[in-house]
A and B are shown apart, each in its own frame.
Chain A
Amino acid sequence: MASKNKAVAYYPGCALEGTGHAYNRSTKAVGKALGLDLVELKNWNCCGAMEVKNIDPKIQTYLSARNLSIAEDMGYDTVMAPCNGCYHNLKKAEYDLENDEGSKQVNERLSSKAGHKTYEAGKVETIHALDWIKREIGDEELSRRVKKSLKGLKVANYYGCMYTRPRHIFPEKDKGPGSESTSKPHFMDEILAAAGAENVDYPLKTACCGGAHALSDSDTSTRLVLNLIETAEACGADVIATECPTCHTGLEMHQVRAEKVLGRKTKVKILYFTQLLGMALGLSPNTVGVQENFSDARELIKQKGLA
């Protein structure tokens, strides 16, 4: 367990500077409201998302290794990535550099040619925004700091693929009480419950939204997303809470596409978990970027007394 209120290196990633800007904004706002320090990685690069690995996985390992070496140079032993894709890739690089000789060699080669230090496994720990809040604040303390309870708001917690799979790149998960589960993750459930939300029993927490092919195979993605959304509605959810900009944008995009192309209209709203948490901590919807979402949740937020 890390000491309280430790500063962590912050890796927002490309999506959080683009379509996922609201996630960036709300993560920083929540950090500020909770008194947690975030220092952005200097001159970071893209993690390669779900794409570069299909050109060559070892380049993807290098891309993350470069970011980890920056965190190390800045004197941090922990890097926090709110984006599931970035988080996944940093974790995977850590695993591959520890266990795969080929990845290690390519990393050495590319790092030395690029003219920076070669990152070695074990120097920097990667955590998700969920881990960060759980570790630094914890559920009990969080519930004490809530100013506007999310009471009456029914939430389906959606974690997506990259936060838990494949299991071997997350050695700290599935370690019994207190640790995160890869089959039934619960950190977001617990954080939002501490903020007063009523979590519905959502069976598709780790199902896939088709985000990797959101544009290149949009019919498949629309079917996958529609299933996620209709199931959330069947569970009685007002909101699907997300923790990944790819999932989030995918859900928003294909909710509209399902209506336009398949004529299936749904009304559940999509919000980042940091947006919900931020509002519970007393921040205004604008401060957590609700107006930036494609999914327009302003009416619902007013109804639930969070505005």
Chain B
Amino acid sequence: MPIHEKSLIRPENLVEHEELVIDGIDVSGHWSTFIEGRSVCDYNENLQDEIEAMAGGEYISRCWQCGSCTNACTVNAINPDFNPRYWIYLIRLGMEEELVRDKDIIWQCVSCNKCTYACPREVNPEGVMKATAHWLELKGHTEKKPSMVFDEAFSEQVFETGKIEDGLVLRQFFSRTGQKLTQPWLVALVGGLIKRFPVFYLMRLGLSTVLRPRTSGWGRARAAINEYVEEREAANRKALGLDGKGAE
């Protein structure tokens, strides 16, 4: 059975008759469990092309479904629903609706590259995960996920100054995701350090706020990178057929 057909046996696709007699035989209750008939006619024929157009998704068509990626996957080990092989399969078939069911977990890929290490076809499944997560956001299937908020806060700093200051990234990420900096575990973590070595810690905290690390003469690199980022964004939107529509 092709793996996508496991979706046929989801509870909502199963029918059971409380009372049913066929040819004089009583098949009431679970004896009459049927899989509801289904025909798929909403394929997105461009789905694979769209993912291929996104950075990281370039080599998806090489996949021959061996499952090495899912077998090696760090996240799959703690959540069996996280299944790169299955998503690659859906994308290649164009089953957008099925893919979108997992919109809230695809972003959780931790980029450990175990899949890329194991893949015999150089599909770069890690890249496909990132391309797919990005695609879900651009298509408006999901809101911006926390990892993208973090990536943006981080990258903006790099593009702006050439370097990052990790305290600032942390503060920006917490404020953009509406989280408080006073979470008990964070307080315990920093508190322990301050108790041991207050002068050093406070000095560094103060210094990094006043003297933000930066690469000197970065202005031209900043302009070149920002120009390129804009071009890429436009290219992605064009590839996804989003020209002239709202981003999210």
Asked if A212 lies at the interface with its beta carbon under 8 angstroms from chain B, I say yes
**How many Å from the CB of B54 to the closest CB on chain A?**
10
Q: Number of B residues contacting the other chain (C-beta, 8 Å)? A: 62
Taking A14-B165, A51-B155, A294-B193 as contacts, is the C-beta distance between A109 and B224 under 8 angstroms?
yes
- Residue of B with least CB distance to A102: B58
Tell me the bound Cα distance from A117 to B108 in angstroms: 38
* Per-position 1/0 for B140-167, Cβ under 8 A of A: 0000011111111011001000111111
Compute how far the CA of A53 lies from the CA of B177 in the bound complex, rounded to whole angstroms: 21
Chain B positions within 8 Å of A213 at CB level = 108, 110, 146-147, 150
Partner of B204, one of A21, A44, A252, A291: A21
When the two chains form their complex, are residues A113 and B223 in contact, meaning their CB atoms are under 8 A apart? yes
Known contacts A256-B185, A292-B197: A109-B228 contact under CB 8 Å:
yes
Q: A residues within 8 A CB of B146?
A: 213, 215-217
With A45-B158, A55-B152, A161-B113 as contacts: A296 and B217 at CB distance below 8 Å: no
Interface string of B209-235 (1 = CB under 8 A from A): 000010111101101110111001000
Q: Which residue of chain B has the shortest Cβ distance to A252 in the bound complex?
A: B189
Q: Does B8 contact A (CB under 8 A)?
A: no
Residues of A within 8 A of B134 (CB): 54
CA distance A46 to B154 in the complex (A): 10
Q: CB distance B148 to A54 under 8 Å?
A: yes
Cβ–Cβ contact B196 & A291, under 8 A: yes
Q: How far is the CB of B162 from chain A (nearest CB, A)?
A: 4
**Residue contact A113 to B150, C-beta cutoff 8 Å:** no
Cβ of A167: which chain B residues have Cβ within 8 Å of it? 117
Nearest chain A residue, comparing its CB with the CB of B79: A220
The prevalent SS among residues of A at the interface is helix
The yes or no answer to B188 lying at the interface (CB within 8 A) is yes
Given A21-B204, A43-B215, A220-B75 in contact, is the A165-B113 Cβ separation under 8 Å?
yes
Q: Given that A216-B173, A220-B78 are contacting pairs, would A46 and B192 also be in contact in the complex, using a CB cutoff of 8 Å? A: no
Asked if B48 is an interface residue, CB under 8 A from chain A, the answer is no
B interface residue numbers (CB < 8 A to A): 55-56, 74-75, 78, 108, 110-114, 116-117, 127, 130, 134, 145-152, 154-155, 158, 162-167, 170, 173-174, 177, 184-185, 188-189, 192-193, 196-197, 200, 204, 208, 213, 215-218, 220-221, 223-225, 227-229, 232
Given contacts A162-B113, A212-B111, A292-B200, 16 further A-B contacts (CB under 8 A): A18-B208, A19-B166, A43-B216, A54-B147, A54-B151, A55-B152, A109-B228, A114-B220, A164-B117, A165-B113, A165-B114, A182-B117, A210-B74, A212-B112, A221-B110, A294-B189
Task: Please list 17 pairs of residues, one from A and one from B, whose beta carbons are closer than 8 Å in the complex, sorted by A's number.
Answer: A43-B216, A45-B162, A46-B163, A50-B111, A51-B155, A51-B158, A52-B158, A54-B134, A55-B229, A56-B229, A58-B55, A63-B158, A114-B224, A208-B110, A210-B74, A291-B200, A294-B192
User: What residues make up the interface of A, taking CB atoms closer than 8 Å to B?
Assistant: 14-15, 17-19, 21, 43-46, 48-59, 62-63, 66, 106, 109-110, 113-115, 161-162, 164-167, 182, 207-208, 210-213, 215-217, 220-221, 223-224, 252-253, 256-257, 259-261, 291-292, 294, 296
The 10 closest A-B pairs by CB, nearest first: A208-B112, A113-B224, A114-B221, A216-B146, A51-B154, A165-B113, A18-B166, A260-B185, A45-B162, A257-B185
